């Protein structure tokens, strides 16, 4: 477990005063975080709260809490429910992470990330000439790693839940058998070309070309039968008749997952990474997530800035200035450089986590930040004397199709969970007779050293393909508590997380900054316009609703600006889906913030 010394609020005069003088003097325009939806208030409950991307999944979790289940029971219910109502990312054919903090302050990190099959090899996606075969790691049978979601959710229930697995899964079984009503957005998503490629997927999700429409009821009887079998014996998925069905199906399509691969799968109960930021303790994701340590490094770099005072308005008007965005972006740039060089599966690599988490290292990085202009990534030099020599850098791609949910129960137990199929609807392949989609998580490995990819995100050979290996992830489920004293544990403050591929870490960082530094309520933080920098490519990505005037000011400072995910003006141009909970420090009410970017989710409780 990586522990950090407390951050101070002392601001280096040479940095802050120069930043404030130079940037304000140029009349930079502040960014209205709530320009589109001013005055939004969070959902308030007295006892328990569930926040997810789908209203039916949220209701499933709340129902379990009302039946006497704890936050873990509710998380299991939500996880299985999302496998029914959110097939683009919710799953039993994928994997993910679950961060748990119990009412006594003890935390656990369940790693149920997918694993590479035994037959996987470093060059499996290359042709005879050594070139990457386009789409081979993204679509079809060979794109899938060994699924971990069933094992992870069953493990969580068995070790940390109060009810039975059958009770926790009852809502998902009902949703699959009786169906749920589709919104226009959901019906349109089911028209994915990724599903059209495969007959079983076309039959189930697209009615063989008679596409579902808004208001239709979507029933999944095959999936319902599979969920019933899992509720009776989850081991059947990995060592029984169902495992044989999955392996036989994979074999017919040329996939690599075997019965032996499924039988060998195991959940890892890892120690979370911990850090400090402005009087709060961060409990977050360890490798094979890169998210936690990179988040800690970002906030360590920022810890001595008074961000609320950087730029016009500050916390008083709930604005984030271009001056603030600049400093945060430079922290992103430096931490992502380290992410790219050093991180991978901890079971296969020795990772320099303690070095990355040191405050002296953060201070050395901080001293290289020019408060008036960006540092070009090509000229960035890592501070000497802290880190081992990095291995040769290689690219990796990460999908944005993931989902997150946050839960707090009446006893104060909390869960922050992020899981995924990787790409939208995963590999596109639905297991015949079982009704669930398989992941395309093998695409998160490095296919070939030195070959750029569509996302441009880089990392070291620690993430090359190997049998039994878990690919590096950016998923960053995080729980924040008040720091407390050595003799007294801190109180629960926030439960945070989002999907978004390589943008996950920066979104979580901005959610924390929005609340702790900028004073936004949890709903305002969920809806705030987003920005992202990942070292390479050297550009500042902006969400479409990020205001144009301050973007132009940042461009004038020297940033290359990109309105990420905006193919045309009809495109919503958004990323991420923050599903957040805050605890009112005075009343101890639970405050839920569901990201308004997704119209069919909600925060609810009792």
Hey, which residues are catalytic here? 402
Strand partners, 96: 112, 419
Strand partners, 430: 437
Burial 77-104 (b: 16+ CB within 10 A, else e): bbbbbbbbbbbbbbbbbbbbbbbbbbee
**Residue keyed to tokens 């707090």:** 408
Q: Are the C-beta atoms of residues 472 and 420 closer than 8 Å to each other? A: no
Alpha helices in 210-358 (DSSP H): 221-232, 236-239, 241-252, 259-264, 291-302, 322-342, 353-357
- Name the strand (E) or helix (H) holding 401: strand 401-408
User: Alpha-carbon distance 277 to 300, whole Å?
Assistant: 7
User: Alpha-carbon distance 39 to 41, whole Å?
Assistant: 6
Torsion (CA) 119, 457, 289, 412 in degrees, nearest 10: -140
Nearest Cα neighbor of 600 from 11, 149, 88 is 88
User: Alpha-carbon distance 365 to 300, whole Å?
Assistant: 10
**Residue keyed to tokens 């890592």:** 382
User: Alpha-carbon distance 495 to 516, whole Å?
Assistant: 13
Going by DSSP bridges, is the β-strand pair 478-482/280-284 parallel, antiparallel, or unpaired?
antiparallel
Main-chain phi, psi angles of 51, to 5 degrees: -130, 125
User: Alpha-carbon distance 205 to 209, whole Å?
Assistant: 9
CB atoms within 10 A of CB 52: 33
Nearest Cα neighbor of 511 from 261, 282, 217 is 282
Q: Are the C-beta atoms of residues 4 and 357 closer than 8 Å to each other? A: yes
Show Cβ contacts of residue 77 under 8 Å, excluding neighbours closer than 6 positions: 60, 61, 63, 64, 69, 168, 169, 171, 172
Show Cβ contacts of residue 188 under 8 Å, excluding neighbours closer than 6 positions: none
What SS3 class is residue 365? helix
Residue by residue, DSSP assigns 464-484 as B--TT----B----EEEEE--
Q: Are the C-beta atoms of residues 154 and 64 closer than 8 Å to each other? A: no
Round the CA-based radius of gyration of the chain to a whole number and report it.
23
Positive or negative CA dihedral for 301, 307, 312, 318? positive
User: Alpha-carbon distance 490 to 603, whole Å?
Assistant: 25
Show Cβ contacts of residue 315 under 8 Å, excluding neighbours closer than 6 positions: 308, 309, 517, 518, 519
């Amino acid at each position: 477990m990586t522990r950090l010394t407390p951050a101070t609020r002392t601001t280096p005069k040479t940095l802050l005063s120069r930043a404030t003088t130079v940037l304000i003097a140029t009349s930079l325009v502040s960014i209205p975080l709530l320009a589109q939806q001013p005055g939004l208030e969070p959902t308030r409950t007295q006892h328990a709260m569930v926040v997810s991307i789908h209203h039916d999944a949220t209701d499933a979790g709340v129902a379990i809490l009302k039946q006497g289940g704890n936050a873990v029971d509710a998380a299991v219910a939500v996880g299985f429910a999302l496998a029914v109502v959110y097939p683009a990312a919710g799953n039993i054919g994928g994997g993910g992470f679950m961060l748990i903090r119990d009412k006594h302050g003890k935390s656990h990190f369940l790693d149920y990330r997918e694993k590479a099959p035994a037959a996987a090899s470093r060059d499996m996606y290359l042709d005879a000439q050594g070139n990457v075969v386009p789409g081979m790691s993204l679509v079809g049978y060979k794109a899938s790693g060994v699924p971990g979601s069933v094992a992870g959710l069953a493990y969580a229930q068995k070790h940390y839940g109060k009810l039975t697995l059958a009770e926790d899964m009852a809502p998902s079984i009902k949703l699959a058998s009786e169906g749920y009503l589709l919104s226009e957005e959901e019906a349109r998503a089911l028209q994915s070309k990724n599903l059209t490629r495969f007959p079983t997927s076309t039959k189930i999700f697209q009615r063989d070309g008679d596409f579902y429409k808004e208001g239709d009821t979507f029933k999944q009887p095959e999936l319902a039968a599979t969920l019933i079998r899992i509720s009776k014996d989850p081991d059947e998925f990995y060592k029984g008749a169902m495992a044989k069905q999955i392996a036989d199906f994979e074999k017919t399509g040329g996939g690599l997952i075997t019965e032996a691969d499924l039988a060998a799968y195991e959940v890892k109960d890892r120690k979370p990474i911990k850090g400090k930021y402005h009087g709060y303790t961060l409990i977050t994701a360890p490798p094979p997530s890169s998210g936690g340590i990179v988040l800690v490094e970002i906030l360590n770099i920022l810890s001595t800035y008074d961000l609320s005072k950087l730029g016009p308005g500050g916390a008083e008007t709930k604005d984030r200035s271009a001056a603030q965005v600049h400093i945060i972006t430079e922290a992103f740039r430096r931490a992502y450089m380290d992410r790219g060089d050093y991180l991978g599966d901890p079971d296969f690599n020795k990772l320099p986590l303690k070095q990355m988490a040191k405050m002296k290292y953060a201070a050395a990085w901080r001293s290289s930040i020019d408060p008036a202009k960006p540092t070009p990534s090509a000229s960035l030099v890592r501070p000497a004397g802290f880190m081992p020599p990095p291995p040769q850098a290689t690219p990796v791609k990460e999908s944005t199709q993931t989902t997150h949910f946050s839960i707090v129960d009446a006893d104060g137990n909390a869960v922050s969970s992020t899981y995924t199929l990787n790409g939208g609807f995963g590999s596109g392949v639905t297991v015949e007779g079982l009704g669930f989609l398989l992941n395309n998580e093998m695409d998160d490995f490095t296919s070939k050293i030195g070959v750029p990819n569509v996302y441009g995100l880089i990392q070291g050979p620690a993430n090359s393909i190997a049998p039994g290996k878990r690919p590096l992830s950016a998923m960053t489920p995080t729980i924040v508590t008040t720091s407390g004293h050595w003799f007294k544990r801190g109180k629960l403050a926030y439960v945070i997380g989002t999907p978004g591929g390589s943008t996950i870490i920066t979104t979580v960082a901005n959610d924390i900054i929005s609340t702790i530094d900028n004073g936004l309520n949890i709903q305002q933080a969920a809806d705030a316009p987003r920005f992202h920098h990942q070292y390479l490519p050297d550009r500042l990505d902006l969400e479409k609703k990020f205001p144009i005037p301050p973007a132009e000011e940042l461009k004038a400072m020297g940033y290359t600006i990109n309105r990420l995910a905006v193919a045309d003006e009809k495109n919503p141009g958004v990323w991420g889906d923050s599903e957040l909970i805050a605890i009112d420090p005075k009343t101890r009410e639970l405050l839920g913030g569901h990201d308004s970017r997704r119209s069919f989710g909600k925060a609810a409780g009792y």
